[in-house]
Chains A and B, each alone.
Chain A
Amino acid sequence: MGNIKQKDLILYSGLIILGLAAPYLFSAFKVQLTYLCVLIVLAMTWNLQGGEMGYNTFGNILFYGLGMYLTASVQVGMFFPLAEWTESGGEKTFVHTTAQYFQGIGVGLLVSAIIPAIVAGAIGYAILGLRGHYFAICTLGLGIAAGEIAGGIEIIGAGQGFTTPPFPAEIVDTEARGKFFYFLSFALLIGTFVFVKYIYGSRFKLILNAIRDNEDKAEAMGIQTMKYKITGWMCSAFFCGLAGGIMGGLIGYIDSTDVAFDGREMGVFMVLMAILGGKGTLWGPVIGATLFHFFKEGLWTLILGWQYVALGVLIVVIVIYFPEGLMGWLREKYPERFGEVIDEKDRKAQVELK
């Protein structure tokens, strides 16, 4: 990271102040803002694989869903028998006290960060050895299989779902729940951003890029590619698990295929957002996620019922016409802003060659 420039310092502190003030300024949209933070986190972590490493995964939803189930299970299981909780449909028989609730969610989030990372490390050696489209299809299969299997396990609610502990009733402030989850997700966003920015300044990012550009060559140069691929995936899993845990608490209800391992929504959204903003850039996923969220929230209600058709068409259009995304387009238009110097002679020679 080193020394941050003064211009960047103003930008970052401005954004942080905006983020801190947002729940007070836009009080009615706290849930939407929380969603936005989580979406940005998912897009940024997807970008580590899809953008930097060149491994287009559909499987990060696995860690998201895993984190969601783990947080809720730990939060309940620490104080009450889990099987009875899911059987009775949640809060009817057992009530968390305020202290229990926060202790539970704290430990739950910790677990939901560590376990997905361990899972990523464990399956990484087998899965990340696959190349290109085989990797994409395999991770797609993993995500869906996880949803189907979770939908058959009794102790976490099977097909009927899992109600997460409700926010403690002793806190009378009606705004408190929204604020709590917003600041939790905002903290996660800052953590993720700082981490990804740190990666962008490190040798690790260059190695990931080398893997993307030519993995065999990178291996021949003496880089242990598998080690770095697994590490990269574990980092993503860590943050995806946390994001899932927060979303589980916010939504309050976990369904195996529609909320947790939601390949049809979240799983596609994270890919789409990163591509929309421009994969392989630091700010691309952030901008892509923000744009996508505004577009989604603005249009979803207008075209009720048709939103999936619109989503499908959007995917096709973005993938075919804007595969480089917004940042890629800007980069082509204003290369100087990105610190690229174009040799006019060289460019002309290239044009002539074409």
Chain B
Amino acid sequence: MDFLIFKAPMLMVQASLDGILLGILFALIAYGMALQWGVMNIINIAQGDLVILGGYIAYTMYLAGIHPAWGVIVSPIIMFFVGWALYKLVINKVVDRDLFISILATFGIAIVFQQLMNFIFGADVVVAQSEYGTTMLFDNSVTLPNSKIFSAFISVLYAVALVIYMKKSKLGRAIRATAQNARAAKILGVDTEKVYAATFGINAALCGIAGALISITLTLHPYVGLPYTVRSFMIVIVAGLGNLPAVALSGMGLGLFEEFADYILGTEFRIGAVFMLLVFILVYRRFKLSKKREYLK
């Protein structure tokens, strides 16, 4: 076995930096997933497709001659209303139901989204050029696209803003109250239906930001949504609901894992490695939990 990465230590630095910057982006998507999971108790398989849709909004702006970085402001606004509409159409009917119903229903939504994006934007792999240039580190042996640094910075900015919003604003308090106990919140005068719609809208807006950032740092394609869903699901399982530092950390961990898997196994196994990691994490979690269930044995 001959791995390039172990021969050139600088490649490790490269992979680590890439992984951490990428991981921050994943953490942003995962935060949205944790939000809706915690508040509404649904698992949204269409999460990744919302991300890709947000990316295509930024890409459309790029085609129209506007700098795609403005997408991080426009895309969340549009996506908020997409999320709101989606809630009113479908999600409100699955909120109180079995989790499997929400998985399957959002799976259906994901298929519709993929196909519609395929019609509108075509099946080609596209990228919006930000023309931010690259930063060279360590005697030009490590190259870092400035767009990645930009995307990590914007992700952190939005995450901090959202945390403050959730703590201080009236809607934020209502969302947190609903997450704790929906029935009690309803009795105390919180319009839970509106809270749910807003939560789903905020989640979609987060996806929109992440998508706009992905359009300038990575690539877009109508059918690559599911890996983003799985990544955010994985991060949420590892970090737990509503633990933001842990979400950020496990996001970075996932980013690192992916970059190293890319170098060691080869790019063709990258997505496979992500899905296998999901299986391993779930199985590990099952064995850890089963030790606690000793009263049945």
What interface size band does chain A fall in? 35 or more
* A126 to B285 Cα, complex, angstroms: 10
Contact B107 A268 (CB under 8 A): yes
Contact A148 B111 (CB under 8 A): no
A311 closest partner in B (C-beta): B111
A271 beta carbon closer than 8 Å to chain B = yes
B275 beta carbon closer than 8 Å to chain A = yes
Given known contacts A151-B268, A308-B114, is B286 in contact with A141 (CB within 8 Å)?
Answer: no
Given known contacts A159-B268, A312-B111, A319-B108, is B103 in contact with A133 (CB within 8 Å)?
Answer: yes
Instruction: Give 1 or 0 for each of A41-75: 1 = CB within 8 Å of chain B CB.
Output: 00000000000000010000000000000000000
* A282 to B50 Cα, complex, angstroms: 38
Instruction: Give 1 or 0 for each of A130-163: 1 = CB within 8 Å of chain B CB.
Output: 1011101110011011001101100000110000
Contact A313 B283 (CB under 8 A): no
B142 beta carbon closer than 8 Å to chain A = no
The prevalent SS among residues of B at the interface is: helix
Contact B115 A315 (CB under 8 A): no
Give chain A nearest CB distance to B197 CB in angstroms. 17
Choose, from B93-101, B187-195, B206-214, the stretch at the interface. Answer: B93-101
* A129 to B291 Cα, complex, angstroms: 12
Q: Which of B253-297 contact A (CB under 8 A)?
A: 266, 268-269, 271-272, 275-276, 278-279, 282-283, 285-287, 290, 296
Contact A148 B282 (CB under 8 A): no
Contact A320 B94 (CB under 8 A): yes
Contact A129 B268 (CB under 8 A): no
Contact B99 A132 (CB under 8 A): yes
* A29 to B207 Cα, complex, angstroms: 45
Contact B279 A145 (CB under 8 A): yes
- B112 contact from A130, A134, A268, A312, Cβ within 8 A: A312
B289 closest partner in A (C-beta): A129
* A320 to B100 Cα, complex, angstroms: 11
Instruction: Determine which residue in A127, A308, A314 has the highest number of CB atoms from chain B within 10 A of its CB, and name it.
Output: A308
Instruction: Determine which residue in B93, B286, B287 has the highest number of CB atoms from chain A within 10 A of its CB, and name it.
Output: B286
Contact B108 A313 (CB under 8 A): yes
Contact A316 B109 (CB under 8 A): yes
B226 beta carbon closer than 8 Å to chain A = yes
Given known contacts A315-B105, A320-B101, is B110 in contact with A126 (CB within 8 Å)?
Answer: no
Which residues of chain B are near A144, meaning CB under 8 Å?
Answer: 226, 230, 271, 275
A216 beta carbon closer than 8 Å to chain B = yes
* A271 to B103 Cα, complex, angstroms: 12
- B269 contact from A133, A149, A264, A275, Cβ within 8 A: A149
Instruction: Determine which residue in B90, B279, B283, B287 has the highest number of CB atoms from chain A within 10 A of its CB, and name it.
Output: B279
Contact B226 A127 (CB under 8 A): no
Instruction: Give 1 or 0 for each of A313-325: 1 = CB within 8 Å of chain B CB.
Output: 1111001100100
Contact A315 B283 (CB under 8 A): no
Give chain B nearest CB distance to A148 CB in angstroms. 3
Contact A141 B108 (CB under 8 A): no
B99 closest partner in A (C-beta): A133
B282 closest partner in A (C-beta): A138
Given known contacts A141-B230, A149-B269, A149-B272, is B286 in contact with A316 (CB within 8 Å)?
Answer: no
A4 beta carbon closer than 8 Å to chain B = no
Given known contacts A313-B112, A315-B104, A316-B108, is B296 in contact with A148 (CB within 8 Å)?
Answer: no
B31 beta carbon closer than 8 Å to chain A = no
Contact B282 A134 (CB under 8 A): yes
Contact A142 B108 (CB under 8 A): no
B233 beta carbon closer than 8 Å to chain A = yes
A302 beta carbon closer than 8 Å to chain B = no
Contact B230 A148 (CB under 8 A): no
B163 beta carbon closer than 8 Å to chain A = no
- B90 contact from A141, A145, A320, Cβ within 8 A: A320
* A149 to B277 Cα, complex, angstroms: 13
Given known contacts A129-B287, A148-B271, A149-B272, is B108 in contact with A137 (CB within 8 Å)?
Answer: no
Contact B286 A312 (CB under 8 A): no
B10 beta carbon closer than 8 Å to chain A = no
B43 beta carbon closer than 8 Å to chain A = yes
* A158 to B233 Cα, complex, angstroms: 28
Contact B283 A126 (CB under 8 A): yes
Q: List 23 contacting pairs A-B, 8 Å CB cutoff, sorted by A.
A: A127-B279, A129-B286, A129-B287, A133-B99, A133-B103, A134-B282, A136-B99, A138-B278, A142-B279, A144-B226, A148-B272, A149-B272, A149-B276, A152-B266, A275-B104, A306-B115, A312-B111, A312-B115, A315-B105, A316-B90, A316-B105, A316-B109, A319-B104
